Amino acid sequence: MSVESIFPRLEALLPKVQKPIQYVGGELNSTVKDWDTADVRWALMYPDAYEVGLPNQGVAILYEILNELPGTLAERTYAVWPDLEKLMRAEGVPQFTVDGHRPVRAFDVLGVSFSTELGYTNMLTALDLAGIPLRAADRGDDDPIVLAGGHAAFNPEPIADFLDAAVLGDGEQISIAISEVVREWKAEGRPGGRDELLMRLAESGGVYVPKFYDVEYHADGRIKRVAPNRADVPWRVHKHTVMDLDEWPYPKKPLVPLAETVHERFSVEIFRGCTRGCRFCQAGMITRPVRERSITTIGAMVDNGIKESGFNEVGLLSLSSADHSEIADVAKGLADRYEGTNTSLSLPSTRVDAFNIDLANEFSRNGRRSGLTFAPEGGSERMRKVINKMVTEEDLIRTVTAAYSQGWRQVKLYFMCGLPTEEDEDVLGIADLAKKVIQAGRDATGSRDIRCTVSIGGFVPKPHTPFQWAGQADHETVDRRLKALRDNLRGDKRYGRAIGFRYHDGKPSIVEGLLSRGDRRVGAVIRAVWENGGRFDGWSEHFSYERWMAAAEQAGVDVGWYTTREREENEVLPWDHLDAGLDREWLWQDWQEAVSGAEVEDCRWTPCYDCGVCPTMGTEIQIGPTGRKLLPLTVV
């Protein structure tokens, strides 16, 4: 039975909303497969506005892989803005996909990719608009399996009530495996209904089905244990790791939006994982080990991506792009290939110590020399030891001196406030550092036309990191330190006007902290916030701290207990049954070493299996150099 497009009904609403183009689909390289040719159908959601969701690599990759799979189709859906939501409710138009404009409820699986916890309320809006019951327990056989992925899915407990399942780690292979399980179950005539399908997924050990696990609590509120409530459901669920990225050269057909989006470029992931060991960084912990894409595959993907998309910018993505073992050859090879074509290259994430000026020169050869961005994260040497981001002041000054003398005029520095053991003077150290940066620039160029921007946000302790036990700084402390830093910078006559200051206040971080390290009891808060109008919590103009606090009170949830409370070693954490491969004892030891300021090496260069990921997951570090170079492209 085919499913009708809701587009005619949507079309009548579009003249009344802002930026209607975001809802019409039809992007270059988008795919609309015939509904009846597929027996497994995925709706993939990025739970934020189209302009943020479209460039998301995770969704784009799965969309392509699933659409390549015979008998399977995938369409995309995004959060609709409140103006359209209101009209859809009034006219009874359901949540739809932008490809076929099919109602989301008609799909077999609704896969939601969470880069951040602040998308949770948007998922509830989408479920509600789709006509899918919010609580998984209330869903029937005609409702899709609601499946979460992305980094936030490494602790899906706060949204456990709303999810049927969650997947940890790289989605390429597991999304195919899930498709086959669904296909088989449907072909057999859906035996045992929804529960059996979920059982088949759970038994594999690669899909977490919250309803098959019970959580018991101590009288004081701590978790006593999390245990499967059915035989054949494993005690722990493991993350997925794709080995050999060269075998998965996606995106091959990059989506080219008509609407304006946050990243207007073709992005290639040059490696996955990071073992620098920054203790605050959840991404670095949960994506281990490092797996590089080879220089030749990167070259081929860029060539193909530019031809397929027409983008004039290429982004080389990873958690720390200058750490690729052949980054210099990649940069030079690409800059040579695209010389004179107005194609610019960008390296969005670089460490000060891995950065060098030759690299920066290659990257700016075909584009602008606008600004450089570094993230020392901590203002003092002591703070940087605690977080194990070993960037020395000398490194930073040497690097910015070189940059300013080579013609850059603007450097951006990223920091965090509220880190474990942080004192007021650690944050004020940021001001000293920024002033030294300006002075270095003035000395190097003899010019006073030197700028530096300090950008700072509140630190949020994340699951599966050494800081998962830490007490988060309260927002009053963060705001007080930020104000002191701002006053110090603004009040400085010699440097103040050369230093820009951008900050986020501490309140949103508290809500993010609640959702990051929350357990199943936090679900009631999310639901209450959503019922009270909470939408687009990642957008400051929509976010309301007061709404979150009122909802927490209504749900009887003590926000401080979840955020600012430091945990004991043996406390059962809500995500302990979800296995990112990290050895819990190693994490704890690293947390203790953080407090005492001891550093840990990068295992890429000094073999070390202490974190436990490779032995547990059967993975290995994959790095070059391959020794190969990029040859000039043949002109047709």
Partner 1 sequence: MQRLRVRYAKRGRLRFTSHRDISRAVERAVRRAGIPVAFSAGFSPHPKISYAGAAPTGVASEAEYLEIGVTTPCDPGQVRQTLDESLPTGLDVLDVVEAGPGGLADRLEVSDWEVRLPGADREFAGVAVEKFLAAGTVEVERLTKKGLRRFDAREAVLGLTVSEGSDRTAAQVQGGPCVILRMVVRHMTPAVRPDDVLTGLRLVADFAPPVPPEVTRLAQGPLDASTGALADPLDLDRDITRGGEAGPAGEHVAG
Binding residues vs partner 1 (CB under 8 A) = 7-9, 11-12, 14-16, 19-21, 23-28, 256, 258-260, 264, 306-312, 342, 368
Q: How far is the CB of 409 from partner 1 (least distance, A)?
A: 12
* Of residues 517, 578, 523, 583, the one with CA closest to residue 551: 523
Q: Distance between the two ends of the chain, CA-based, in angstroms?
A: 47
Nearest-10 Cα torsion for 427, 429, 431, 435: -160
Looking at the Cβ atoms of 96 and 469, the one nearer to partner 1 is 96
Which amino acid belongs to residue 30? Answer: S
Q: How far is the CB of 18 from partner 1 (least distance, A)?
A: 10
Q: How far is the CB of 323 from partner 1 (least distance, A)?
A: 30
Q: How far is the CB of 309 from partner 1 (least distance, A)?
A: 7
Looking at the Cβ atoms of 258 and 262, the one nearer to partner 1 is 258
- Distance separating alpha carbons of residues 53 and 259, to the nearest angstrom: 12
Looking at the Cβ atoms of 32 and 242, the one nearer to partner 1 is 32
Looking at the Cβ atoms of 14 and 357, the one nearer to partner 1 is 14
Looking at the Cβ atoms of 147 and 372, the one nearer to partner 1 is 372
Q: How far is the CB of 539 from partner 1 (least distance, A)?
A: 21
Radius of gyration of the chain (CA): 25
Q: How far is the CB of 86 from partner 1 (least distance, A)?
A: 16
Any idea how long the chain is?
636
Q: How far is the CB of 357 from partner 1 (least distance, A)?
A: 21
Query: Are residues 234 and 228 in contact, defined by beta-carbon separation less than 8 angstroms?
Result: yes
Looking at the Cβ atoms of 258 and 598, the one nearer to partner 1 is 258
Q: How far is the CB of 12 from partner 1 (least distance, A)?
A: 5
Beta strands in 48-167 (DSSP E): 72-78, 109-113, 145-149, 165-166
* Of residues 3, 194, 181, 2, the one with CA closest to residue 97: 3
Looking at the Cβ atoms of 91 and 195, the one nearer to partner 1 is 91
Which amino acid belongs to residue 227? Answer: A
Looking at the Cβ atoms of 15 and 446, the one nearer to partner 1 is 15
- Distance separating alpha carbons of residues 531 and 519, to the nearest angstrom: 20
Which amino acid belongs to residue 495? Answer: Y
Q: How far is the CB of 101 from partner 1 (least distance, A)?
A: 9
Looking at the Cβ atoms of 23 and 543, the one nearer to partner 1 is 23
Looking at the Cβ atoms of 256 and 444, the one nearer to partner 1 is 256
- Distance separating alpha carbons of residues 455 and 450, to the nearest angstrom: 17
Query: Are residues 79 and 53 in contact, defined by beta-carbon separation less than 8 angstroms?
Result: yes
Looking at the Cβ atoms of 306 and 522, the one nearer to partner 1 is 306
Question: Which of helix, strand or coil describes residue 96?
Answer: strand
Q: How far is the CB of 16 from partner 1 (least distance, A)?
A: 7
Q: How far is the CB of 303 from partner 1 (least distance, A)?
A: 13
Name the token pair of 450: 């030197």
* Of residues 350, 446, 351, 448, the one with CA closest to residue 405: 446
Enumerate residues 6+ apart whose C-beta is below 8 A from 398. Answer: none
Q: How far is the CB of 535 from partner 1 (least distance, A)?
A: 23
Q: Enumerate the β-bridge partners of residue 345.
A: 314
Name the token pair of 135: 């609580």
At 266, which helix (H) or strand (E)?
A: strand 266-269
Looking at the Cβ atoms of 364 and 401, the one nearer to partner 1 is 364
- Distance separating alpha carbons of residues 81 and 554, to the nearest angstrom: 27
Query: Are residues 277 and 600 in contact, defined by beta-carbon separation less than 8 angstroms?
Result: yes
Enumerate residues 6+ apart whose C-beta is below 8 A from 294. Answer: 246, 624, 626, 628
- Distance separating alpha carbons of residues 614 and 277, to the nearest angstrom: 15
Burial 292-304 (b: 16+ CB within 10 A, else e): bbbbbbbbebbbb
* Of residues 121, 110, 108, 93, the one with CA closest to residue 17: 93
